C-alpha cells in the first residue's frame, strides 16, 4: 500500500505521516528530508545554487539514507547523521531552491520510487509531488493544508523550542516565500493531485485530522 501525503510546509504532514505509518506498519519516507540533505551537501561544498549542473552533480554523488523507526528517524549524508543540522531555516530555504532544479528532482524521485516499491508492507511518503509525480497511482492520496498564519504559528513554536526561531513575523515571511517558490516552479510544483482528499488542518487538532485520515485509509483498503 502506498499512501501519498502532500502539502505546504507546516501543515502537519510529518507528524500525521508518522502516525499513519505506525498504525498500519508501513515504512515512512520524509522526502523533504532528502532535499534538505542534498541542500546541505551543496552548502557544505560552497557551490552557488545558480550552478545547477554542479548542484545536480553533488546531489547525484551524495549518499542519502533515512534509517530507523518513524519516531526516531535518522537522516544520513554519506554515513554522517545530519538529522538536526537539516532542520534549520537556512537549510529549509536552500532545500526549496535546490528542489526547483529538474536534474535534482529526477535523482530524488528515482530514489523515492525505489525505496517505496521495496518496502515489504508499503510506504507512507510525504512531500510536495508524491501524489502527482512520484506515485501518481498511490492507493490513497492526501493533501494537507492550513492558512500561512496557522502554519507559521506551529513552525515558530517548534523552532522556538529548539532555540532556532528569529520571530513570528520572520517565520511567516519565510513560509510565504517558500510557498511561492514551491508553487511556482515549472518542474513538479506543489499542487493538489488528482484524486487527493484535501484536509484543511487550520482549525482542527491533531487527533481530529488523524481520525479523518484513518477513515479514508480503512475505506480504501
Ligand atoms: O517538507 P520540507 O519542509 O522538509 O521540504 C523542504 C523543501 O523541499 C521544500 O521547500 C520543498 C522541497 N520538497 C519538494 O520539492 N518535493 C518534495 N517531495 C519534498 C520537499
Q: What is the pLDDT of residues 115-157, one digit of tens each?
A: 999 999 999 999 999 999 999 999 999 999 999 999 999 989 9
Q: Tell me, what's the pLDDT at 44? A: 97
Closest residue CA from atom 18 of ligand 1: 127
Pocket test for ligand 1, best of 42, 85, 90, 127 (most atoms within 8 A of CB): 127
Residue range 2-220 forms a domain whose CATH class is alpha beta
Q: Contact, 43 vs 140, CB < 8 A?
A: no
Pocket test for ligand 1, best of 29, 35, 133, 182 (most atoms within 8 A of CB): 35
Q: Tell me, what's the pLDDT at 163? A: 85
DSSP state of 104: H
Q: Indicate if ligand 1 lies below 6 Å from the C-beta of 129.
A: yes
pLDDT digits (tens, 9 = 90+) for 33-81: 999 999 999 999 999 999 999 999 999 999 999 998 888 899 999 999 9
Q: What are the respective helix, strand and coil percentages of the chain, to the nearest 5?
A: 55, 15, 30
Across the range 202-221, mean pLDDT stands at 94
Reduce the DSSP state of residue 192 to 3 states and report it.
coil
- The region of weakest confidence among 26-40, 161-175, 177-191 is 161-175
In terms of pLDDT, which residue wins out, 69 or 25?
A: 25
Q: Indicate if ligand 1 lies below 6 Å from the C-beta of 112.
A: no
Spatial neighbors of 136 by CB under 8 A, at least 6 apart, are: 193, 194
Cα–Cα distance measured from residue 182 to residue 96, given in angstroms and rounded to the nearest whole number: 7
Q: In the chain, what are the domain boundaries?
A: 2-220
Q: Are strands 27-30 and 140-145 parallel, antiparallel or unpaired?
A: unpaired
Q: Indicate if ligand 1 lies below 6 Å from the C-beta of 18.
A: no
| 76, 101, 178, 81: CA torsion to nearest 10 | 10
Indicate the pLDDT class of residue 165, thresholds 50, 70 and 90: low
Dihedral angle sign, alpha carbons of residues 62, 33, 198, 207:
positive
Across the range 196-209, mean pLDDT stands at 95
Pocket test for ligand 1, best of 38, 102, 109, 128 (most atoms within 8 A of CB): 128
Closest residue CA from atom 11 of ligand 1: 96
Amino acid at each position: 500500500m502506498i499512501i501519498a501525503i502532500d502539502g505546504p510546509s507546516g501543515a502537519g504532514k510529518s507528524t500525521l505521516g508518522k502516525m499513519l505509518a505506525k498504525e498500519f506498519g508501513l515504512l515512512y519516507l520524509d522526502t523533504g528530508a532528502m532535499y534538505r540533505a542534498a541542500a546541505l551537501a551543496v552548502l557544505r561544498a560552497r557551490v552557488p545554487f545558480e550552478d545547477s549542473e554542479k548542484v545536480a552533480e553533488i546531489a547525484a554523488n551524495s549518499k542519502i539514507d533515512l534509517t530507523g523507526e518513524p519516531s526516531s528517524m535518522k537522516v544520513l549524508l554519506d554515513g554522517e547523521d545530519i538529522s538536526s543540522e537539516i532542520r534549520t531555516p537556512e537549510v529549509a530555504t536552500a532545500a526549496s531552491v535546490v528542489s526547483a532544479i529538474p536534474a535534482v528532482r529526477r535523482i530524488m524521485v528515482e530514489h523515492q520510487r525505489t525505496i517505496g516499491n521495496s518496502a515489504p508492507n508499503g510506504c507512507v511518503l510525504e512531500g510536495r509531488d508524491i501524489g502527482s509525480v512520484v506515485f501518481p497511482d498511490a492507493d490513497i492520496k492526501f493533501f494537507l493544508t492550513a492558512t500561512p498564519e496557522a502554519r507559521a504559528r506551529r513552525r515558530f513554536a517548534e523552532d522556538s523550542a529548539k532555540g532556532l526561531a528569529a520571530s513570528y513575523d520572520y517565520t511567516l515571511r519565510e513560509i510565504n516565500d517558500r510557498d511561492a517558490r514551491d508553487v511556482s516552479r515549472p518542474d513538479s510544483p506543489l499542487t493538489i493531485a488528482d484524486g487527493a482528499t484535501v484536509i484543511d488542518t487550520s482549525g482542527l487538532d491533531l487527533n481530529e485530522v488523524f481520525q479523518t485520515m484513518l477513515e479514508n485509509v480503512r475505506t480504501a483498503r
